[in-house]
Structure 1
Amino acid sequence: EFDNCVAHVNTVLRDTTPGNRNISHPELPPLIAPSPEYDATTQHCFALILALASRIPIEDAALRSGGPFQTGLGFTLSNKIYGAVGLGRLGTNAARTAVLGFGMKVVSWSANLTQEKADEAAEKAGLPKGSIKAVTKEELLKTADVISMHYVLSDRSKGTIGAKEIGMMKKNAILVNTSRGPLIDEKALLDALNRGAIRGAALDVFDVEPLPLDSAWRTTSWGQDGRSLVVLSPHMGYVNDETMQKFYAEQADSVQRYIAGGIEAVPDVLN
């Protein structure tokens, strides 16, 4: 078993973590290790959704500061529409959780998604055919109650959600991002949330990480004076003991196989 506290500080591998936060020792060649399971990210995604739906952070803060007992109304997820932006492994896992765990309806969009592909993803996840409806980007934005980013960041996908897209969302919609910060136009989102344009946002990723101390995300009094609710976490979607144990074990196995001549160093194409 690995001591994750020690491993986090004294990493001896050149790797690409599940969050693409590179820890480099240039004297070592980059190696390919199998990707860890992604249950942790799905769990964190729904932790953020539930925190917003049940208003946990703002109610907790009110109780601790001597504020009022019950400051507002939450909402239930059952029969609401979950909009998955991207339907890869993470998007499919989240869709499955939305359907089986909370009785939500699921729609999804990505640039190349078809209903046939959506049905295939659903059946692989153990869901009935038709459980995930492939829709246009506009339909997803206009109908979904929870819009969650599961897209891969690329030059093409950067800014997938901007001012125009936020303007299409329901007033009571929440936007969740556990993928990559630049998928959403940060300036446009900050403006919308300051105006209370949507119910709220839950963010685990940002344009700049670690999040600067003077960032508006840190300094704004969210959920007050007409502003939307906001829940923040410091890129924790993959940071738990089980995922790190598996990740470091797989990296160690790759190093051992490389030393034994079982695999070759590969170009640094993952970073």
Structure 2
Amino acid sequence: MATSPETSLAILDDYANVAPKHFKHIPNLKIDTFPETLDPSTPSGLEALAKRLEPYPVVSCMRERTAFPSELIQKLPNLKLLLSSGNRNAALDLQALKERGVPVTGTKGDLPQTQSEGFDPPPPPGYSAVNQHAWALLLSLCGRIPQDDRLLKTEAGAWQNGLGVSLGGKTLGLVGLGKLGTAMAKVGVLGFGMKIVAWSENLTQEKADDAAVGAGLEKGTFKAVSKEELFKGADVVSLHLVLSDRSKGVVGERELGWMKKSGLLVNTSRGGLIDEQALIESLKKGGIKGVALDVFWREPIPRDSPWRSVDSWAKSEVVLSPHMGYVNEGTMNRWYQEQAEELERWLKGEELRIRMA
């Protein structure tokens, strides 16, 4: 395609300043970065974001950070290419972008043919960084690591201020037994000797057996149960569903009420799977022992979010991380490297490797 001598690129939400080095080699490319996320769900946020992006023909975004609703897309007449990450991005109105004729690229996160210097390669095929982070959160919660780390660093004389939780032989309940749920279950079995129960609307025992065998475990290792049985019987409940109209709020007041008083809840999928207010009310009264969250209902969480002051009101133990499940050095660098590769193809008029729209 014909291009002007200089093309302008806006990089959004690159909190760790990873992206620029991957684009700087492209000739006649002007790069601007905007690490502060703007929320277009309000009229003022929509106008601010439209004003920010209006001049740019190319925008780089990280999946599900800045949203691109149709109202925003209509206000960006100069947009010609949207570079996203991953192979899906629920924050983009792909139909509106398609109708505008704006191609949207994705990334595979695969191993590059040649490794760039200065950063680790992405995880190998079959390895789940999200699963690693889910276990990091759960083990931090069980071992009181965030709390004790903070106390030892800030309070003279602090020592063994609470009791940890042993996972050996306990029951791990998976809400969703896809790739990530199965990975979580496999570690539970092999690492801690945990019993595995699972539920989703379409899960059968046959599918649970297939998942176990596919993970190298014996048939029958995973038990498909009812939703009520899972929440009442599990010592740890971990969520592994894609957020949709059907799964939104799949964990609410009823499900939290079913959980054991000693139960732990882990969510590394999407904040919307849980009724936020119901969870807050449960934690205020100590309805469950603890929760570990990597995902939230609004991201980044607002400055006045109750999660910013959770230690002041929760009677349950709470461990939080800022949606770090996929944010590792190798993956982030490879995603931006792939975005730069796609931009170069587009500038040369070549076919794009991965198209979302």
Counterpart in the other structure of 1:21 = 65
Deviations for 1:115-152, whole angstroms, at most 9, x for unmatched residues? 11111111111111111111111111001111011010
1:157 aligns with 2:247: yes
Residues 15 and 30 in structure 1, CA contact (< 8 A), matched pair in contact too: no
CA distance in 2, matches of 1:68, 1:267: 53
1:51 aligns with 2:63: no
Counterpart in the other structure of 1:89 = 179
Cα gap change, 1:23 to 1:192, in 2 (>3 Å)? closer
Counterpart in the other structure of 2:215 = 125
Counterpart in the other structure of 2:105 = 31
Residues 14 and 26 in structure 1, CA contact (< 8 A), matched pair in contact too: no
Deviations for 1:16-72, whole angstroms, at most 9, x for unmatched residues? 63xx33588932120243366662111110011001101111122222222631111
Matches within 5 A, 1:1-271: 5-7=17-19, 10=33, 14=60, 17=63, 20-22=64-66, 26-28=79-81, 29-34=103-108, 39-66=128-155, 68-221=158-311, 227-255=315-343, 259=348, 261-263=350-352, 266=355, 268=357
Gaps of 5+ in 2: 1-15, 21-31, 35-57, 69-77, 82-102, 111-124
- The CA deviation at 1:229 is 0.2
Secondary structure of the residue that 2:135 maps to in structure 1? helix
Q: Which AA in structure 1 matches 2:136?
A: A
Where relative contact order (Cα < 8 A, 6+ residues apart) is larger, the structure is: 1
CA distance in 1, matches of 2:206, 2:60: 39
Q: Which AA in structure 2 matches 1:180?
A: R
Gaps of 5+ in 1: none
Aligned length: 261
Give the TM-score of the pair, scaled to structure 1.
0.86
Cα gap change, 1:264 to 1:246, in 2 (>3 Å)? closer
CA distance in 1, matches of 2:151, 2:338: 44
Asked which structure has the greater CA Rg, the reply is 2
CA distance in 1, matches of 2:136, 2:214: 24
CA distance in 2, matches of 1:267, 1:173: 40
Residues 15 and 23 in structure 1, CA contact (< 8 A), matched pair in contact too: no
Cα gap change, 1:122 to 1:255, in 2 (>3 Å)? farther
Secondary structure of the residue that 2:163 maps to in structure 1? coil
Q: Which AA in structure 1 matches 2:278?
A: A
Q: Which AA in structure 2 matches 1:199?
A: K
CA distance in 2, matches of 1:7, 1:16: 10
Secondary structure of the residue that 1:220 maps to in structure 2? helix
Q: Which AA in structure 2 matches 1:135?
A: V
Q: Which AA in structure 2 matches 1:69?
A: W
Cα gap change, 1:219 to 1:151, in 2 (>3 Å)? same
CA distance in 1, matches of 2:263, 2:80: 48
CA distance in 2, matches of 1:204, 1:194: 19
CA distance in 1, matches of 2:248, 2:318: 22
Aligned CA RMSD, in angstroms, stands at: 2.6
Q: Which AA in structure 2 matches 1:196?
A: G
- The CA deviation at 1:220 is 2.8
CA distance in 2, matches of 1:253, 1:122: 38
CA distance in 2, matches of 1:171, 1:46: 21
CA distance in 1, matches of 2:336, 2:149: 35
Give the TM-score of the pair, scaled to structure 2.
0.67
Cα gap change, 1:185 to 1:64, in 2 (>3 Å)? same
